[in-house]
Amino acid sequence: MERIWAPWRMEYITSEKPAGCIFCVNESGERDRELLVIHRGTLCFVMLNRYPYTNGHLMIAPFRHVSALELLTDEEMLELFRTMSICRTVLEKSASPQGFNIGINLGKAAGAGVDDHLHIHVVPRWGGDTNYMSVLADIRVMPENLLTTYDRLLPAFSLLRCGK
């Protein structure tokens, strides 16, 4: 039997899980890198998924804790979808994916890991990004560390904030 070592998972397994909602981030932004928050807008923000399907898996959430589309203001909805477009542009320029999965999981039955704070997934995809590991062993191989991905994408988000 082949063994696959993922020692970084032990930190998650043994760590104390944070209380509260992962999408309820503070206003200061001083812990953004630690929380994987890579972009802050006026009404919503973008963070890397800590347990991604592929490298560059982003999540967009309103700052306001809402669970359903109909609870969003028109301004929040517009900013969420504009930010989704920005995420796609950043990923195209930074990672050259061949496609995207973009979606919202509403409710636990639909696959929402956090079902009481609405968020949008933007997942870059490449031909062959799933391989025999996923089929045979229900394992995903991530070729890049999360903070390396964060540091690689951050300049592209910074340029967009400056209007370039």
pLDDT tens for 123-147 read 999 887 664 444 444 555 566 788 8
Q: What is the pLDDT of residues 62-81, one digit of tens each?
A: 999 999 999 999 999 999 99
For residue 23, pLDDT over 80 is answered with yes
Packing angle, helices 146-161 and 74-95, rounded to 10: 120
Cite the active site residues.
119
pLDDT band at 2 (very low <50, low <70, confident <90, very high): low
Cα-based angle 11, 129, 49 (whole degrees, multiple of 5): 40
Q: What does pTM read for this prediction? A: 0.79
Superfamily of domain 33-156: HIT-like (3.30.428.10)
Contact 38, 153 (CB under 8 A): yes
What is d(CA 115, CA 106) in angstroms, rounded to the nearest whole number?
6
Contact 160, 84 (CB under 8 A): no
